[in-house]
């Protein structure tokens, strides 16, 4: 089965995608005085991941009727996060490149969100935007 498309523009996820692009385009103006670029770069990377993740989740739901299970649906030691379930489902529907891009974005987001001393490079920020754009392009917004 090839890629099936949805009309993302009717969903709130599309607004998050557009807002993330605006943040990126205006990143230099958003850096506050007495602050390095990390505060803005980490926010943009976070938004890139969640824009892509929410879109992929919506796409899986619309195209394949997939919905991640809640924690209560798992046995005591079997829990898989919703993020992990979405990545696994992408593999199940042969969307390997989308899964790999989402995984790379997930790792960038973890560094940006959870390591306050990690120096985010402009290249990593560009990578995050590229990965997000490619996910949307592959699943055709």
- This prediction has a pTM of 0.87
Give the residue ranges of the chain where pLDDT is below 50. Answer: none
Residue-wise pLDDT tens digits, 122-132: 999 999 999 99
Q: What angle do CA 92, 128, 52 make, to 5 degrees?
A: 45
In a domain, 127, yes or no: yes
Q: What is the CATH number of the domain that holds 42?
A: 1.20.120
Number of domains the chain contains: 1
Which pLDDT score, from 0 to 100, does residue 1 have? 52
Residue-wise pLDDT tens digits, 91-116: 999 999 999 999 999 999 999 999 98
In a domain, 21, yes or no: yes
In a domain, 126, yes or no: yes
Residue 57 CB contacts under 8 Å (≥ 6 apart), including other chains: 68, 82, 86
């Amino acid at each position: 089965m090839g890629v099936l498309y949805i009309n993302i523009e009717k969903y709130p996820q599309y607004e998050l995608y557009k807002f993330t692009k605006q943040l990126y385009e205006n990143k230099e103006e958003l850096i506050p005085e007495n602050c390095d670029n990390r505060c803005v770069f980490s926010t943009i990377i976070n938004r890139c991941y969640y824009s892509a993740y929410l879109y992929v989740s919506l796409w899986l739901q619309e195209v394949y009727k997939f919905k991640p299970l809640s924690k209560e649906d798992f046995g005591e030691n079997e829990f898989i996060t919703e993020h992990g379930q979405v990545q696994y489902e992408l593999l199940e529907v042969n969307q390997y490149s989308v899964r790999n891009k989402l995984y790379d974005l997930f790792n960038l987001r973890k560094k940006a969100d959870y390591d306050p001393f990690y120096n985010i490079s402009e290249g990593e920020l560009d990578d995050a935007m590229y990965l997000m754009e490619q996910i949307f392009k592959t699943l055709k917004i």
